Amino acid sequence: MECSERTKRRKISAKVEEHLRLLEKESMIDLLAHDSENEYQLDDLLEHTESEDSMDTFYDACDQNCFENSSIDLEDENSSDSFYDFNISSFDDLDSENRVPGDMPGCDSDCDLHGDVCSDLEDDNDDDSHGIAEWAAEFNIPQTALSALLKILRRKGLDIPMDGRTLMSTDRSCNVANMAGGSYYHFGIENALIAELTSLGHLANVTDTLTLRINIDGLPLFRSSSLSLWPILGMIKEIPECSVFVIGVYSGVSKPANVQEYLQEFIVDMKAISQSGIVYNGVHFRVPLPDAFICDAPARAFLKCSKGHTGYYGCERCTQKGQYINGKVAYPEISAELRTDEQFGRQGYQQHQLSASPLNDLGIGLVTSFVLDYMHLVCLGAMRKLIFLWLKGPLKCRQSMKFFVVMSAFMVSIRQNLPSNFARKPRSLFEFSTWKATELRQFLLYTGPVVLLNNIPSIMYRNFLLLSVSMRILLSPALCSPDNCDYAEEILKLFVTDFAAIYGAEFVSYNMHSLIHLAQDARNFGPLDSVSAFPFETFLGKLKKLVRRPQNPVQQLVRRIHEKQKVASQKTTSVFSPLKQLHFSGPLINSIATWEQYRRYNDGQTLISSSRGDDCFSVGGRILIVRNILSHSGTVKVLCNFFETAKSFFTYPMDSSCLGILFVFNLSEDLQLLPVEELKTKMVLLPLKTGYVALPLLH
């Protein structure tokens, strides 16, 4: 950043003033020291040297003479004013005894003061400003609070903007359109992609194709208001590290009144960019049509203009007609005719479709491209329904209070056994109504198979295992092969059939029925985590916090998002060591007694620790516990103990060892040394009777 002439002079003046103050005080101290044996009157001297007013008057006069007198030209390299007769380039070394006097060269338009006074000052100020801007963007600091902080810092001497809007480069105007009963702003697909590629840095070089995956969902803003947001969000399929970004955002007192109007700008933009692509850093990227729309059931029905999930023809994948059983619409069949993209595009399902979807204009498959999101379908749907039936269902399936007390106590007791990958630790089953989707997923895949063993009737436990095993197959990159997807589909159909027999056909709702279609999405898109709503839901929570008042919510969002994009475009990547927490407490073996010891190793992909929860891994099918992490000359190894005995934890509906799930015991006392690179498969280790159940970590 170039500084103005006035700014240059002000910065030079400040540095010169600081330097002169130090020189003046040093000279006075030297004078006192050398003349103390003379009858020098100390009081007379101090009244001249210690008076702030006198010193300020002196320096003010000096500033006026040197910087306001028109006869002094700072750009004149031949100026010989004695005020500058010292080497100003050595301000950072005021105590140096080898200062070489010299004239200060002029301050030219490039702000080059023998290298470096202005440029150094600017760099420092830019670093300060950018660091504060990063902090404000990361922690969502309100503008009023940021401006108040900036004023305090300026009084402390930092040369930074006075107003938060200047620091954050806040947009002064925002062109919001009124449409569909609310307000809408379109960021643009190209702008959103370029901003995301900029923040990704070198990761943007891994592909020349950017396939979008789109999420659209409603988000209430305030408890006391009906105001809601309907953002259009995107992710890049080819870059797993990609963050969620905003393409457009709508706000109104209800969902958009007209889906055609709501999607119009997105559809036009998508058509154009799919033909032209984008250019970033001189590289042309293809941007094909989105391959997946990831939404919950109400949003899918809204976008596809079809019947909702509570209707008789609500199933999106098959033509089964719902049955009204005991006051509920149920879908007990599992073999109805499947819907096709071609028939849907021709509006061939009159009992299911309400009108033509505007997304038909994109030419995408409105059946196969709309994913049955497992976060809503399985976690918040099927898994929550099972726990509800155990706690409050009909008497034939309701469990005793003792069951919940015992299981809740067990779940709380294993909190320390869960890896730090889990942001939420197990909670009591009595709180299941407030469990988040991640907690329900944790119960389904990890804690549930252990906690429920011998605590619920065998028929219910086996039925639960059908759901748990099938979802582990469909979520695991190592297991989600075409053949395994076929097997998962079969056991999901068995789960739905057995569920109806155990709990009642009236409970085979839309969510339970749609499980039989879930394997098809895994065939089309791979592991279901790649097309789940989890990252979008996390982003929506952050997006909601950007709106602080009900007036003009879209304008608030647009400004905050642009601020974050500008900060992210200047952010530098820090180099860090994966080794953390140096210690000297062992254990060690003789061959590595001089190696450095650490408690944690985190390479950005896997966290390895000698602490409980993050210390269990599988190597070659054997389960180990990490005891120490060692480093020497760039080589990192782990000291570990292996479990000597392992066997299958269950055999129905398949042998658990095929899933990597083992019951282990007899931990060896022999320490073994392994390269850290071999520890790829992290395990969740849960206590059970005389041993432990080890389950591969998927999340």
- Flag whether pLDDT at 61 surpasses 80: no
Torsion sign over Cα 405, 410, 411, 412? positive
Q: Tell me which of 533 and 7 has the higher pLDDT.
A: 533
Residue 54: pLDDT band (50, 70, 90) is very low
Higher pLDDT, 343 or 23: 343
* Cβ neighbours, 10 Å, residue 180: 21
Sorted by where each begins, the domain ranges of the chain are 5-111, 122-167, 373-531, 579-696
Name the token pair of 73.
């030209």
Q: What are the distances in angstroms from CA 233 to CA 188, 305, 362, 380, 683? A: 11, 20, 17, 21, 33
Rounded to whole angstroms, how far apart are CA atoms 530 and 316?
A: 21
Tell me the average pLDDT across 145-163.
87
Residue 157: which pLDDT band, with cuts at 50, 70 and 90? confident
Angle (CA) 391 397 402, round 5°: 50
Q: What is the pLDDT of residue 330?
A: 93
Q: How many CB atoms lie within 10 A of CB 75?
A: 12
pTM value is 0.79
pLDDT above 70: residue 82? no
Is the pLDDT at 525 greater than 70? The verdict is yes
Q: 294: which strand partners?
A: 371
User: pLDDT, tens digit, for every residue of 487-520?
Assistant: 999 999 999 999 999 999 999 999 999 999 999 9
Identify which of 264, 226, 268, 229 has the alpha carbon closest to the alpha carbon of residue 246.
229
Q: Which two tokens stand for residue 72?
A: 């002094």
Highest averaged pLDDT of the listed ranges 60-64, 171-175, 582-586: 582-586
612 pLDDT band (50/70/90 cuts)?
A: very high
In three-state secondary structure terms, 624 is strand
Say whether 63 sits in a helix, a strand or coil: helix
Reported confidence tier of residue 105, pLDDT bands at 50, 70, 90: very low
Residue 292: exposed, middle, or buried by beta-carbon count in 10 A (0-12, 13-18, 19+)?
buried
For residue 642, the model assigns a pLDDT of 96
Question: Residues 6 or more apart from 151 whose CB is under 8 A from it?
Answer: 162
Sign of CA dihedral 399, 400, 401, 407: negative
Average pLDDT on 248-252 reads 95
Q: 374-423, pLDDT tens digit by residue?
A: 999 999 999 999 999 999 999 999 999 988 899 999 999 999 999 999 98
Quote the mean pLDDT of the chain. 84
> Residue 220 in 3-state DSSP?
strand
Q: What confidence tier does 4 reach under pLDDT thresholds 50, 70, 90? A: low
Strand partners, 278: 285
Give me the mean pLDDT over the 67-94 stretch.
Answer: 37
Quick one: DSSP state of residue 103? Answer: P
Give the pair of three-digit tokens for residue 298: 């109400």
Q: Looking at residue 533, what is its pLDDT?
A: 96
Q: Picking from 86-90, 229-233, 352-356, 607-611, which range would have the lowest pLDDT averaged per residue?
A: 86-90
pLDDT of 45 reads: 35
Residue 591 above 90 pLDDT? Answer: no
Beta strand spans in 217-286 (E): 219-220, 228-236, 245-252, 278-280, 283-285
Confidence tier at 3 by pLDDT (50, 70, 90): low
Token output for 98: 């080898």
- Is the pLDDT at 118 greater than 80? The verdict is no
How much is the pLDDT for 16?
A: 63
pLDDT given for residue 204 in this prediction: 65
Position 170 confidence tier, pLDDT thresholds 50, 70, 90? confident
DSSP result, 289-334? --SEEEE-HHHHHHHHTB--TTSTT--SSB-PPPEEETTEEE---S
pLDDT band at 41 (very low <50, low <70, confident <90, very high): very low
Cα-Cα end-to-end distance for the chain: 44
Average pLDDT, stretch 162-185? 85
Provide the greatest CA pair distance for the chain.
113
More confident residue, 593 or 372: 372
Is the pLDDT reported for residue 65 higher than 60?
Answer: no
Tens-place pLDDT, residues 288-309: 999 999 999 999 999 999 999 9
Rounded to an integer, what distance in angstroms lies between the CA atom of residue 99 and that of residue 26? Answer: 15
| Amino acid found at 575 | V
Cis peptide before 482 (omega within 30 of 0): no
Residue 344 has pLDDT above 80, yes or no: yes
Do you find a cis peptide bond into 587, omega within 30 degrees of 0?
yes
pLDDT the model gives residue 623? 96
pLDDT at 26: 54
The pLDDT confidence band at residue 40, using thresholds 50, 70 and 90, is very low
Q: Give the tokens for residue 406.
A: 């015992």
42-51, 242-251, 601-610: the lowest-pLDDT one = 42-51
Q: Are strands 292-295 and 177-179 parallel, antiparallel or unpaired?
A: unpaired
What's the average model confidence in pLDDT over 68-77? 37
**Residue 346 pLDDT more than 60?**
yes
The larger pLDDT score, comparing residue 554 to residue 167, is at: 554
Instruction: Check residue 95 and give its pLDDT.
Output: 39
The region of weakest confidence among 113-127, 166-180, 380-394, 593-607 is 113-127
- Return the SS3 of 666: strand
Any idea which of 205-209, 229-233, 673-677 has the lowest mean pLDDT?
Answer: 205-209
- As a whole number of Å, the CA-based R_g of the chain is 34
Percent pLDDT > 90 in the chain is 61
Nearest-angstrom CA–CA distance, 610 and 629: 7
CA distance 236 to 243: 8
